[in-house]
């Protein structure tokens, strides 16, 4: 099948859509970052995993024949080191997944200013620093693709997510600004907005896999990290060559009803 004069997607290429691309994935030690690293490696990418969790990150990288770099996304110096080491080893950077993030659940009145600022530092400032750090290298590579992890909490208001929601609305906006600023350099920037996904982050407050586990989503269940990873791999790939500044909800349809809590009516029996 041919999508344009210069991009050919054959069945053989379909599963190696990132063949040879050098992709940095932050927070890749576990959860959605690790699932994304696995999907990208399977698609042929050379993967650089970064995380503050050194033991888990090293183990994940070893399993995938990837590179691990200890990295706190809130540090501009550490970002510079990640890009420098990636260039030293692979010679270029063509993909970045700003995935590292922390959660917090508290009402505005209960949340301390320190916690609010910490969530913004990791989720939003970390993403900003990532955009700054890779732009030059991607420009030098002739272009690239960046995927930022926002959330459904960046698409509609969820109570008890003052810091988290503010950070994810910020990531959504920053993504569009970066898409405008970087587009001419053939660097595409998009955001993904996962719903409730089973990962270590959410398992700590009761996430479970399987049918009937999450009634607010029309599909009635929590999502799996691999289902998000698949969408991220698409956005990183040349198959998404005209997708820029977009926001992709991966939530089983939860936000399609703009957060409505009402399930769709079922037709009466026998109708
Ligand atoms: P997770 O806690 O399982 O993984 C997050 C990873 O980020 C961890 O490995 C952690 O060590 C790393 N990290 C945290 N702070 C860091 C820092 N300062 N520097 C570098 N790495 C750091 O969480 P997850 O559920 O896989 O979440 C991944 C991303 O998806 C996050 O941005 C999260 O906000 C977002 N998200 C998650 C869900 C969900 O339901 N799980 C939904 C929407 C969005």
Per-residue pLDDT tens over the stretch 41-83: 999 999 999 999 999 999 999 999 999 999 999 999 999 999 9
CB 236 within 8 A of CB 260: no
For residue 8, how far is its CA from the centre of ligand 1 (angstroms)?
A: 34
CA distance linking residue 87 with residue 122, whole number of Å: 24
Ligand 1 atom closest to the CA of 223, numbered from 1:
40
User: Does residue 238 register a pLDDT over 90?
Assistant: yes
pLDDT of residue 6: 45
User: Using a 6 Å CB cutoff, which residues line ligand 1?
Assistant: 26-27, 29-33, 51-53, 71-74, 99-102, 122, 149, 151, 194, 196-197, 199-202
CB 93 within 8 A of CB 125: no
User: Does residue 230 register a pLDDT over 60?
Assistant: yes
Query: How confident is the model over 199-206, as a mean pLDDT?
Result: 92
Query: How confident is the model over 225-241, as a mean pLDDT?
Result: 98
Count the Cβ atoms, other than its own, within 10 Å of residue 260: 12
Query: How confident is the model over 73-100, as a mean pLDDT?
Result: 98
For residue 122, how far is its CA from the centre of ligand 1 (angstroms)?
A: 10
Contacts of 206 (CB under 8 A, 6+ apart): none
Q: Which of 24, 26, 27, 35 to mutate to test ligand 1, by most ligand atoms within 8 A of the CB atom?
A: 27
pLDDT of residue 14: 53
Ligand 1 atom closest to the CA of 103, numbered from 1:
34
- Residues of the chain with pLDDT > 90, as a percent, come to 87
For the chain, the three-class secondary structure string (H helix, E strand, C coil) is CECCCCCECCHHHHCCCCCCCEEEEECCCCHHHHHHHHHHHHCCCEEEEEECCHHHHHHHHHHHCCEEEECCCCCHHHHHHHHHHHHHHHCCCCEEEECCCCCCCECCCCCCHHHHHHHHHHHHHHHHHHHHHHHHHHHHCCCEEEEEECCHHHCCCCCCEHHHHHHHHHHHHHHHHHHHHHHHHCEEEEEEEECCEECHHHHCCCCCCCECCCCCCCCCECEEHHHHHHHHHHHHCHHHCCCCCCEEEECCCHHHHCCCCCCCCCCCCCC
Task: Give 216's pLDDT tier (boundaries 50, 70, 90).
Answer: confident
Active site residues: 164
User: Does residue 4 register a pLDDT over 70?
Assistant: no
Whether the predicted model's global pTM rises above the 0.85 cut: yes
Query: How confident is the model over 213-227, as a mean pLDDT?
Result: 94
pLDDT in tens, 135-181: 999 999 999 999 999 999 999 999 999 999 999 999 999 999 999 99
pLDDT of residue 5: 39
pLDDT of residue 257: 82
User: For residues 268 and 146, which has the higher predicted lDDT (pLDDT)?
Assistant: 146
- Whose CA is closest to 173, among 255, 231, 245, 73? 245
Ligand 1 atom closest to the CA of 153, numbered from 1:
43
Query: Per the structure block, which two tokens stand in for 226?
Result: 């691999």
Query: How confident is the model over 27-34, as a mean pLDDT?
Result: 98
Q: What are phi and psi of 200, to 5 degrees?
A: -55, -35
pLDDT in tens, 242-262: 999 999 999 999 999 876 655
Contacts of 122 (CB under 8 A, 6+ apart): 73, 74, 100, 101, 102, 167
Place of tokens 């398992």: 203
For residue 209, how far is its CA from the centre of ligand 1 (angstroms)?
A: 18
Query: How confident is the model over 110-120, as a mean pLDDT?
Result: 98
- Whose CA is closest to 152, among 1, 3, 254? 254
pLDDT of residue 268: 72
Nearest CA to ligand 1 atom 16: 100
pLDDT of residue 2: 31
Ligand 1 atom closest to the CA of 164, numbered from 1:
34
Whole-number mean pLDDT of the chain?
93
CA distance linking residue 154 with residue 165, whole number of Å: 6
Widest Cα–Cα separation across the chain:
67
């Amino acid at each position: 099948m041919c999508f344009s004069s210069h991009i050919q997607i054959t069945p053989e290429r379909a599963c190696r859509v990132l063949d040879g691309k050098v992709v940095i994935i932050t927070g890749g030690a576990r959860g959605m970052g690790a699932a994304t690293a696995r999907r990208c490696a399977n698609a042929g990418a050379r993967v650089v995993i970064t995380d503050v969790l050194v033991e888990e990150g090293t183990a994940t990288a070893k399993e995938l024949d990837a590179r691990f770099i200890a990295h706190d996304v809130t540090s501009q110096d550490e970002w510079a080191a990640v890009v420098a080491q990636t260039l030293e080893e692979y010679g270029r950077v063509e993909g970045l997944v700003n995935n590292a993030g922390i959660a917090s659940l508290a009402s505005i009145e209960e949340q301390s200013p320190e916690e609010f600022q910490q969530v913004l530092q990791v989720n939003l400032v970390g993403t900003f620093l990532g955009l700054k750090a890779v732009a030059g290298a991607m420009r030098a590579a002739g272009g690239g693709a960046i995927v930022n992890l926002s959330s459904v909490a960046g698409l509609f208001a969820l109570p008890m997510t003052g810091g988290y929601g503010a950070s994810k609305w910020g990531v959504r906006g920053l993504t569009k600004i970066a898409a405008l600023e970087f587009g001419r350099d053939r660097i595409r920037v998009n955001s993904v907005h996962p719903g409730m996904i089973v990962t270590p982050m959410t398992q700590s407050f009761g996430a479970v896999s399987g049918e009937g586990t999450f009634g607010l989503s029309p599909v009635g269940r929590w999502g799996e990290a691999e289902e998000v990873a698949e969408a991220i791999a698409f956005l990183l790939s040349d198959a998404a060559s005209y997708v820029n500044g977009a926001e992709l909800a991966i939530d089983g349809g939860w936000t399609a009803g703009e957060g409505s809590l009402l399930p769709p009516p079922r037709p009466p029996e026998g109708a």
